Chain A
Amino acid sequence: MTLVAGHPGPAAVPKSLVANPVLSNWVTVADDGIVAVRVGKVDLGQGILTALGQLAAEELDVGLEHIRMLPAHTDKGPDEGLTAGSMSVAESGSALRLVCANVRALFLHEAARRWQVDVAGLTTDNSYIKTSDGTRYTTYAELAGTVSLDVDVSADVATKSGDDMRVVGTSAARLDLPDKIAGRPRFISDMRLPGQLFGRVVRPPSPGSRLRDVDDSVIGQGEVRLVRDGSFLGVLGGDEAEVERAAKKLRAACSWDESPGLLPSENDLVTFLKRGPHETIPVIEESAVVDGGAGAPEGKRLRAQYSRPFLAHASIAPSCGAARWESDGRLSVWSHSQGIHRLRDAIAQALDLDVTKVSVEHVENAGCYGHNAADDAAFDAVLLARAAPTHPVQVQWSRWDELTWSPLGSAMVADADATVDDAGRILSWTYDVWSQGHTARPGYSGVPGLLAGAHLERASRYPPATDPPLPAGGGTTRNAVPIYDVGHRRITGHRQLSSPIRSSALRSLGSFLNVFAIESFMDELAAAAGRDPLEYRLAHLRDDRAREVLETAATAAGWGGDAHHDVGHGIGFARYKSKGAYCAVVAEIEAEHDIQVRKLTIAVDVGRVVNPCGVRNQIEGGATQATSWTLKERVRFDNTRITSGDWESYPILRFSEVPDIHVELVGRPDLPSVGAGEAAQGPTAAAIANAVTHAIGVRVRDMPLTRSAVVAAIESENP
């Protein structure tokens, strides 16, 4: 049969299967009954492999304990592109369900053939295959040797309906946590292969630096080797502590030509972001545009500007990678990349290798929350490993490397402009947002885009970040379109075409600032009309799922009532990417000294819930991280160097600062599952800012909402 992606009707084949139709690429069944599943998505700490394991167990009718989720590998298993954008349950999940339903059908047929009975009279139950009267039975294990899975998936096999599901919808425990909680080796930095060497890269002190000179005598005559190629400088050896010391000495023995004045002023990012050239991204342009704004000129006009600074992914584990050049010229790479196939292609392109000679296997690391330095660390390992063929070389980045050289989430600024009638009803809405691009993943711009490439003697350009296309959710303009009825709309993104600051995908991309801006502005419009923020939103909102989520959060939080003793409440809401999860957040904050978020009450609709505990964990974690971004985080720099290179200069939320979080799941067992990982980011920020206004009457439009930002806002309101 021919497979067509996106074909309407029941026989549509999930996107991941079009390129990877062979069942055995996804699933193999061993004669001990263990089902090995290899998907193209990777676990980043979000628990996706557990959720996908549940889907496999469900369709096969085997216990979750019989499922083994194998690491993604470019030579084995399907290529499913990136693990990003909260798409894994939707993409990989639907593919895996169909694959497993096919596998089950093949096993049923084999049993029917053996027993010479009609397959319609057979069923599966907890790893057994049996006649419906239970008189004859066998197992997946017994039939494994005779059923070939080297066949293409058929779209005509039915998957289970919601009512029949027993594993999906339960809070199955995460498959990986027992190892992690016991402290067993599990992460890429824990890898110890035979003959392994350890590497460190001595990074330049700032963007645009050139290595002028290095006194390599400082590392002495020991077994630590030095690799230099242009401004790329590294060391490797068999004793990690020794290598670390050598790198430190070498760092002190380097002289660099830096580029003073290359970086913008950290205190005037608005000017920096609005200075072109930009790519203009027209998202919506409706008729009757007048006066620089959308819509009719009548009505009262309100305007406001919102911003966020550069943010770091700030993974708790600095990036790490490993590579080994085999004696036959093949290259093996281990990486915690979000896209191992793209990394493979980028490495092959960068070094002019035959791509079939490069393989990349995924190994877990700590959560990355977007495109951090995972791919770069892998490429560092590839470069250093050239100096020691047949030895695996593991490169560990430092904390400073991670916070200053990983791609950052771009700073952004948005101007919102609306007209309203006498009752406050919105008549027109104009919105402009400026940002650097939100993706610079390997290969995205047709060039490898791996950091070290820009430091080599024959340097390859490190490309400026671009944006994912609008149908994929966009980047700068992600969630720039309000979900509300706002009359005539003109919504435009302005992506900066080049920048000295490296930016790429950070959890939720532009959505974080856009939702913060839209939801803050909705509160400002409500306040100008003297209306309650929740009532005001509902009056402009038709989508029933949206209304239910907002009302659920409000009810659970006991919405309404006045602020007292510097305590306030605020609400924020969005549907992620306008087609994903709905999420409403009510924040309770205290603004006596620093802003303290006391409680977040959250309602979320992710369609069918595969694992309720997992969805809650993602929402709680996302909201906590968003609270950290909103209150504390800001990448610092002077005009030459990024200066926030440790946890003191880049503080994140600590235990005592983390709010209580209550999550309500609005169940939709009949609707497709969508991801939960990014849904809470923007709504949380807006809810906090709106609660600050409720508590102390001041509107803070620039993140982070530190004490000095509050003071600045007070001063600008009372000049």
Chain B
Amino acid sequence: MTQAFTLTVNGQAARVTTHPDTSLLSVLRNELSLPGSRFGCGLGQCGACIVRVDGTVVPSCTTPMWSADGTSVVTVEGLADGDRLHPVQQALLDEQAAQCGFCISGIAVRAAALLESSPHPDEITVAQALEGNLCRCGVQRRIVRAVVKAGRTS
């Protein structure tokens, strides 16, 4: 019972044939060779798989393909401008704001979205925005510092 879907991913048109219940996360990772969105829970609870769908920040693990048809998706791979990292990514790197780095894709996508709506956030704003992203290594303070810095410099 597969079905064809078309969507735009990181600015490129994509066409995939899959079951309508297949998650967007699975399609990104398996059909489109974009493994940057990570599988952490599949329950919409950890944020490791966060992407933007038509601008909205969503967990791709709980986004079925039937709801993503015709949308425009941006993943962590779409944040950089060619070789130039997104300011959030650059700041994360500058602050060495990761340990295992498994959580960082979803955090980068969410933080980049935050800077669009709130270009110069303070620490409390950043922490609140990232409330739905879990980091088990305990790098949260560095991440918050990095995002604040990215806001200051961009």
Are B99 and A45 in contact, CB atoms less than 8 angstroms apart? yes
Taking CB atoms, residues of chain B closer than 8 Å to A45 are 99-102, 137
Q: Known: A241-B19, A317-B40. Is A655-B99 also a contact (CB below 8 A)?
A: no
Partner of A617, one of B26, B79, B142: B142
Chain B: which residue is nearest A622 at the CB level? Answer: B138
- Which parts of A351-379 form the interface with B (CB within 8 Å)? 364-367, 369
1/0 contact string of B84-109 vs chain A (CB within 8 Å): 01000100110010111111110010
Are B101 and A177 in contact, CB atoms less than 8 angstroms apart? yes
B80 at the interface (CB under 8 A from A): yes
Residue of B40, B99, B143 ringed by the most chain A CB atoms within 10 A: B99
Partner of B42, one of A47, A398, A628, A648: A398
1/0 contact string of B12-23 vs chain A (CB within 8 Å): 000000110111
Q: How far is the CB of B123 from chain A (nearest CB, A)?
A: 9
A44 and B99 CA atoms in complex are apart in Å by 8
1/0 contact string of B21-55 vs chain A (CB within 8 Å): 11100110110011111111111011010000000
A396 and B99 CA atoms in complex are apart in Å by 22
Are B141 and A365 in contact, CB atoms less than 8 angstroms apart? no
Taking CB atoms, residues of chain B closer than 8 Å to A366 are 40, 100-103, 136-137
Partner of B38, one of A317, A367, A646, A653: A317
A647 and B133 CA atoms in complex are apart in Å by 11
- Which parts of B45-79 form the interface with A (CB within 8 Å)? 45-46, 48, 75-77, 79
- Which parts of A453-511 form the interface with B (CB within 8 Å)? none
Q: How far is the CB of A679 from chain B (nearest CB, A)?
A: 14
Q: Which of A13-21, A182-190, A578-586 lies on the face that meets chain B?
A: A182-190
Are A316 and B93 in contact, CB atoms less than 8 angstroms apart? no
B8 at the interface (CB under 8 A from A): no
B135 at the interface (CB under 8 A from A): yes
Partner of A316, one of B77, B89, B100: B100
Are A647 and B46 in contact, CB atoms less than 8 angstroms apart? yes
Chain B: which residue is nearest A47 at the CB level? Answer: B99
Q: Known: A45-B101, A317-B38, A658-B138. Is A177-B131 also a contact (CB below 8 A)?
A: no
A636 at the interface (CB under 8 A from B): no
1/0 contact string of A141-172 vs chain B (CB within 8 Å): 00000000000000000000000000000010
- The secondary-structure label for the interface of chain B is loop
A-B pair count, CB < 8 Å, reads 183
A681 and B133 CA atoms in complex are apart in Å by 23
A85 and B124 CA atoms in complex are apart in Å by 35
A653 and B141 CA atoms in complex are apart in Å by 12
Are B105 and A617 in contact, CB atoms less than 8 angstroms apart? no
Interface size range of chain A in the complex: 35 or more
Q: Known: A316-B40, A620-B142. Is A367-B136 also a contact (CB below 8 A)?
A: yes
A654 at the interface (CB under 8 A from B): yes
A245 at the interface (CB under 8 A from B): yes
A648 and B93 CA atoms in complex are apart in Å by 30
Are B136 and A181 in contact, CB atoms less than 8 angstroms apart? no
Q: Known: A45-B101, A316-B103, A656-B131. Is A647-B137 also a contact (CB below 8 A)?
A: no
Q: Known: A181-B89, A241-B30. Is A190-B35 also a contact (CB below 8 A)?
A: yes
Are B39 and A317 in contact, CB atoms less than 8 angstroms apart? yes
Taking CB atoms, residues of chain B closer than 8 Å to A625 are 136-138
- Which parts of B105-137 form the interface with A (CB within 8 Å)? 105, 108, 124, 126-128, 130-131, 133-137
A656 and B133 CA atoms in complex are apart in Å by 11
Are A623 and B138 in contact, CB atoms less than 8 angstroms apart? yes
Q: How far is the CB of A661 from chain B (nearest CB, A)?
A: 6
- Which parts of A593-646 form the interface with B (CB within 8 Å)? 613, 617-618, 620-625, 628, 646
Taking CB atoms, residues of chain B closer than 8 Å to A653 are 138, 140
1/0 contact string of A239-257 vs chain B (CB within 8 Å): 1111011000000000000
Are A173 and B101 in contact, CB atoms less than 8 angstroms apart? no
A318 and B100 CA atoms in complex are apart in Å by 13
Are A648 and B45 in contact, CB atoms less than 8 angstroms apart? yes
Chain B: which residue is nearest A680 at the CB level? Answer: B138
Are B98 and A180 in contact, CB atoms less than 8 angstroms apart? yes
Are B101 and A399 in contact, CB atoms less than 8 angstroms apart? no
A646 and B126 CA atoms in complex are apart in Å by 25
Chain A: which residue is nearest B34 at the CB level? Answer: A183
Chain A: which residue is nearest B96 at the CB level? Answer: A613
- Which parts of A382-435 form the interface with B (CB within 8 Å)? 396, 398-399
Q: How far is the CB of A398 from chain B (nearest CB, A)?
A: 7
Are B128 and A316 in contact, CB atoms less than 8 angstroms apart? no
A109 at the interface (CB under 8 A from B): no
Q: Known: A46-B99, A187-B38, A241-B30. Is A367-B93 also a contact (CB below 8 A)?
A: no
A652 at the interface (CB under 8 A from B): yes
Are A646 and B41 in contact, CB atoms less than 8 angstroms apart? yes
B148 at the interface (CB under 8 A from A): no
A592 at the interface (CB under 8 A from B): no
Taking CB atoms, residues of chain A closer than 8 Å to B101 are 45, 176-177, 180-181, 186, 366
Chain A: which residue is nearest B39 at the CB level? Answer: A189
Are B93 and A661 in contact, CB atoms less than 8 angstroms apart? no
Q: Known: A174-B96, A185-B35. Is A241-B26 also a contact (CB below 8 A)?
A: yes
Taking CB atoms, residues of chain A closer than 8 Å to B100 are 44-45, 180, 316-317, 364-367
Are A624 and B35 in contact, CB atoms less than 8 angstroms apart? no
Sample (28) of A-B pairs whose CB atoms are under 8 Å apart: A176-B101, A180-B100, A180-B101, A181-B98, A182-B76, A183-B75, A183-B76, A192-B35, A240-B29, A241-B21, A245-B21, A317-B38, A317-B100, A317-B102, A364-B100, A366-B137, A367-B100, A613-B96, A617-B139, A621-B139, A622-B138, A624-B138, A652-B136, A653-B138, A654-B131, A654-B134, A655-B143, A658-B127
Closest 6 CB pairs of A and B: A183-B36, A45-B100, A624-B138, A180-B101, A366-B102, A183-B76
A interface residues with partner B (beta carbon < 8 Å) = 44-47, 171, 173-174, 176-178, 180-187, 189-190, 192, 239-242, 244-245, 314-318, 364-367, 369, 396, 398-399, 613, 617-618, 620-625, 628, 646-648, 652-656, 658-661
Given contacts A613-B96, A617-B99, A646-B41, 4 further A-B contacts (CB under 8 A): A366-B137, A396-B39, A624-B140, A655-B127
B interface residues with partner A (beta carbon < 8 Å) = 18-19, 21-23, 26-27, 29-30, 33-43, 45-46, 48, 75-77, 79-80, 85, 89, 92-93, 96, 98-105, 108, 124, 126-128, 130-131, 133-144
